[in-house]
Amino acid sequence: MDKSKNISIINVSKLDEAHRLSAAYLVMEALPAYYRIDGIDELEMATAVAGLIGESGSELEKGYAALCGDEVVGILTFLCSELLPPARLVGAQALFKRLSQDSAKQFRNHLRHYDAGFGIVPDGRIYLSRFAIDQYFRGSGLASQMMELFLSLEDASGVRRDKFSLHVDRQNERAIAFYRKHGFGIHYTGSRYLTMVRTQESRSIIV
């Protein structure tokens, strides 16, 4: 069965409420160390995250979602790297305010000790903030389809379209290989994540 047959990819801003909740679970999967917190119910966190998808100023404002029926089976969000510091803070504040009092307390405590381990993010790039594919659809070609869509972004924000950056878990060899296949090379090694960038040069090498 062709898993990608009944999939449509839309802009995250077009997601309805139910699809946003479904997408939120994938967003959380993309960065579990940040979103999965002892003492906070998964549904409550997902509901809070869903509220940020497509929201102006957040890391989840722009991107694509792959839909298969009622489920979101792929999510890819991005922003200009210069906007990452404010977006991260705006997102953290928005999550804090959307959680119940007890959960907000847990979230606040979590962030006191949270070490993103991201290291540097080069300026002037389009930054891939979240990317996750439903387990069932991995290996179906959906990830490459969404990545190609991301890489074909128009130059709408003064960022050269051939300049992209992302972070990937140092232990995630499969993801690193995937990004290498799409022209990314390692730019910086952080404590937990690698910074990978895509340049015109790296694109020309991958033929």
Residues of this chain that interact with another protein (CB under 8 A) are 56-57, 85-86, 88-90, 92-94, 96, 108, 111-112, 114, 116
Nearer to another protein, 73 or 83 (CB): 83
Q: Of 111 and 149, which CB lies nearer to another protein in the complex structure? A: 111
Instruction: Assign 3-class secondary structure to 63-104.
Output: EEEEEECCEEEEEEEEEEHHHHHHHHHHHHHHHHHHCCHHHH
- In the complex, least distance from residue 34 CB atom to another protein, rounded to whole angstroms: 10
Residues 73, 25 contacting (CB under 8 angstroms) = no
Distance, CA of 135 to CA of 180 (rounded, Å): 21
Residue pair 13/63 in contact by the 8 Å Cβ criterion: no
Rounded Cα distance, 198 and 75, in Å:
20
Name the minimum Å distance from CB 85 to another protein: 6
Of 5 and 112, which has the nearer Cβ to another protein? 112
Least CB distance to another protein at residue 119 (A) = 12
In whole angstroms, how close is the CB of 104 to another protein at the nearest point?
9
Closer by beta carbon to another protein, 52 or else 146: 52
Select 90 or 196, whichever has its Cβ closest to another protein: 90
Q: How far is CA 149 from CA 33, 142, 172, in A?
A: 27, 11, 22
User: Which of residues 97 and 160 has its CB atom nearest to another protein in the complex?
Assistant: 97
Q: State the minimum distance, in angstroms, from the CB of residue 61 to another protein.
A: 11
On whether the CB atoms of residues 147 and 182 are closer than 8 A, the answer is: yes
Q: Report, in Å, the least distance between residue 98 CB and another protein.
A: 12
Q: With the CA atoms of 151, 154, 13 and 70 taken in that order, what torsion angle do they form, in degrees rounded to the nearest 10?
A: -40
Evaluate whether 103 touches 46 at the Cβ level (below 8 Å): no
